[in-house]
Structures are given as structure tokens and as C-alpha cells.
Amino acid sequence: MKKIILYTLLTLFIVSLINCEDKPDKSYYGVPAEDKNQILAGILLSNGVQDYATGTVVDPKSGLEWKKCVQGQTFRATNNDCQGGKGTATFTTPVDQGRYGATFLAYCNIEGNDCNTSTLPMTLRGGTITGISSEAFNSCANENANRTNGYTNWRVPSFPELQSLAALGKVVLTSRFPNTPDDYFWSSWSNEQDLTGATARAVSFSLDTIGKEQSISKTTRYYVRCVRNTNGQ
């Protein structure tokens, strides 16, 4: 527990340093260059992270095991990466070739608190009321039904866990998690400041805004990367 607390404090300290740095103005072919301090911080934070080329990435410091692939993508063992076709959008946004087969998922099918626990933090849960469901929750629960990598405790990551992953920066992140789409990813936390329960917390994994928090309508579809605790909890 002490190691996890120290690791969390280190992550938050590095994130604060990154946020204080001025972002570079130069870009290449319209893609902003990542700040060298962000890259160095990501290398530091990823030290000790283990990748056995089996479809997951393990961080012993935090005690977390992440799926290498975003939900909807397929793990290719021969390349140790994630890929897929363009996929089929389930809403009106045009299909983006940069998705690499990843699937858009809604946090909840309604704007309300019925997809969350009543205790703080208000965490995503499965549908307990007829007609209420969460595509994000169900997608990670399906990993449990399939015993992905032999485990049954896959879930949508909490907001701090997702922030800690974004703290790696885009360059280091994509070296560990290839073909990560540039967009927001859902955390499991509802926005407790939104008394109507209409929004939940998401984190950006786009190059120019990686780590940025946004409270977004729960019915909006974004990406999900499942995670599990290595201690089985």
C-alpha cells in the first residue's frame, strides 16, 4: 500500500511539473511536437513496466495490469500491437481511420446516476434497473466472461488511474500501447459535482491535449481501455 501511495504522489508531482511547462509551438506536418520534458517524465514513470507480448501491460508500482488494446481492437501477437479494420460507427460521427478498429462506447444509455454507485466516488456499475445499461461497463465485463488472459476482474479504470496512464505522454504511451486513438477515454467515475448526474469524467489521449480532463454527457460514445488489479481485487 505504501508503494502505491508513493507512486501516486510521484505521478501527481510529475503531472504538475508537466502542466507548468510551456508547450512547444513548432509542429511537423500539422502534428504538434511533444515537449521533451513530457517525454522524459514518461520514460521515468514507465520504468519497470512489463510487457510480455501477451496482450497486456503490467505496472508493478501501481499494481495495475492494462489491456494493450482499446476495446474493439484485436491484439496481434506476431507484431505485439493492436489493429483492426475501420469498424462501423454506431452513431452519426464519421468513421475515423485513426481508430485502428477501436469501438466507441457510451458511459450510460441515460443522463443520470442509475449507472453509478451511490457512494463517493460514484463509480460505474452494471445495469440494476430495467432499461438502464452501460456499454463501457459491459465491454470490460465481457472480458471477465471470456477470462481474458485468465482473469475475471477486468473493469473500466478509475479517473486517477486513467490520469496516471496519460501522464506517460503520447510518445511513451504509444510505445507501450501502439495504435492508441487520439481522443477521449472514459473513466469509471461520474462527475460528482454534476448533481443531475448527466456527465462523467473522461481523459484525453490526443497528442496536443493528453491528460486533459473533461466532464462529458454519459450518453456520448468514447473509447475504453480495461484494467485490472494484479492483487485480484
For 170-200, what is each residue's pLDDT tens digit?
999 999 999 999 999 999 999 999 999 999 9
Q: How confident is the model at residue 143 (pLDDT cuts 50, 70, 90)?
A: very high
Q: CA-CA distance, 22 to 78, in Å (whole number)?
A: 39
For residue 213, give the 3-state DSSP assignment. strand
Instruction: Find the range with the poorest average confidence among 33-37, 98-102, 114-118, 208-212.
Output: 33-37
Q: How confident is the model at residue 86 (pLDDT cuts 50, 70, 90)?
A: very low
Q: What is the model's pLDDT at position 37?
A: 85
The model's pLDDT over 10-34, given as tens digits with 9 standing for 90+, comes to 454 444 444 444 444 443 334 446 8
Q: Give which of 185, 160, 156 is closest to 15, Cα–Cα.
A: 160
Work out whether strand 199-204 and strand 184-190 pair parallel, antiparallel, or are unpaired.
Answer: antiparallel
Q: For residues 124 and 192, is the Cβ–Cβ distance under 8 A?
A: no
Instruction: Find the range with the poorest average confidence among 34-38, 120-124, 227-231.
Output: 34-38
For residue 2, give the 3-state DSSP assignment. helix
Q: What is the model's pLDDT at position 214?
A: 97
Q: Cα–Cα–Cα angle for 48, 50, 56, nearest 5°?
A: 145
Q: Is the pLDDT of residue 4 over 50?
A: no
Instruction: Find the range with the poorest average confidence among 60-69, 87-96, 128-137.
Output: 87-96
CA dihedral 162, 35, 99, 51 (to 10 degrees): -60
Q: What is the model's pLDDT at position 82?
A: 93
Stretch 59-85: mean pLDDT, rounded?
93
Residue of higher predicted confidence among 90 and 171: 171
Q: Is the pLDDT of residue 97 over 90?
A: no
Work out whether strand 74-76 and strand 81-83 pair parallel, antiparallel, or are unpaired.
Answer: antiparallel
Q: Where are the domains of the chain?
A: 2-229
Cis preceding linkage at 121, omega within 30: yes
Q: What is the model's pLDDT at position 233?
A: 64
For residue 174, give the 3-state DSSP assignment. helix
Q: For residues 186 and 202, is the Cβ–Cβ distance under 8 A?
A: yes
